[in-house]
Amino acid sequence: MKLIVGLGNPDDKYKNTFHNLGFMCVDKLAQMLDVGFDKSKCRALIAQTNIKGEKIILAKPQTYMNLSGESVQELTSFFKISPKDLIVVYDDYDIYIGECRIRESGSAGTHNGMRNIVERLGLTNFPRVRIGFKPRTELQIPLINYVLSGISIEDKPIFDSILENGAKALYDFANGKDIQYIMQRYNKKG
């Protein structure tokens, strides 16, 4: 069994913001797998399918970003998911717009949602897909405002492309591809 978690915030006002890039990426994966988020479990919207006889669960925690770990901890416990079978996708200000970085493990960096997941699970040895949104010019507004701002029309094609890349990486993960292979194939600089 595999658990694929996209991070974001549940309210409609956050729908097209940078902080919801994780939700957007698992939504693209759900389209690829032809499944819908039609169930609620462990404070998350979930979609389920089977690939080659293995159950695949896609989840979008509804706890708001900073408490994502509460839902992820409940999901991993309920479904008995091992760290190697969990992957989390999220927005990352530490990397530039148009970049996608997949890692086998690592710290939470500056991301509060990931920090909460690491705290709640008590481990860092699970794969993650980081979708960059740091602008190449200096920010003119506070970071908290930027994180919750909408993706511009000009930047939409860049994000469509990088989210597609991230969704393909998640698809390969769901299909049992090795994380090293996924990293080599989908890590992308902008």
Active-site residue list: 19
Any residues with CB less than 8 A from the CB of 87 and at least 6 apart, and which?
2, 3, 4, 5, 126, 127, 128, 129, 170, 173
Residue 108 to residue 112: CA distance in whole angstroms: 8
71 DSSP 8-state letter: H
Residue 16 CB partners (closer than 8 Å, separation 6+): 150, 151
Parallel/antiparallel/unpaired status of strands 54-61 and 2-6: parallel
* Structure-block tokens of residue 171: 């698809």
